[in-house]
Structure 1
Amino acid sequence: MGIIAWIILGLVAGLVARMLVPGKDRQGLIITLLLGIAGALLGGFVATQVFHLPGVQGFFNLSTWVCAIVGAAVLLLAHNLVTRRSGRRTGRWAGRR
Structure 2
Amino acid sequence: MYWLWMFVIGLLVGIVAKVLMPGRDPGGFIVTGLLGIGGMFVGGFLSNLVFGTGAIGGPIQPSGFIGGVIGALILLAIYRAVKRRA
Superposition TM-score tier, normalisation by shorter sequence: 0.7 to 0.9
Unaligned 5+ residue runs, structure 1? 87-97
In structure 1, the residue matched to 2:59 is: 58
| Regions of 4+ moved over 6 Å | none
The structure carrying a bigger helix percent of its residues is 2
| Corresponding pairs, count | 84
| Larger RCO (alpha carbons 8 Å, 6+ apart) | 2
User: What is the TM-score of this pair, normalised by structure 2?
Assistant: 0.83
Distance change >3 Å, CA 19–CA 55, structure 1 → 2: farther
Aligned twin of 1:92? none
Identity %: 36
For the aligned residues, what is the CA RMSD? Answer: 2.0
Kept in 1: contact 2:17–2:69 (CA 8 A): yes
Unaligned runs of 5+ in 2: none
Q: What is the TM-score when the length of structure 1 is the normalising length?
A: 0.74
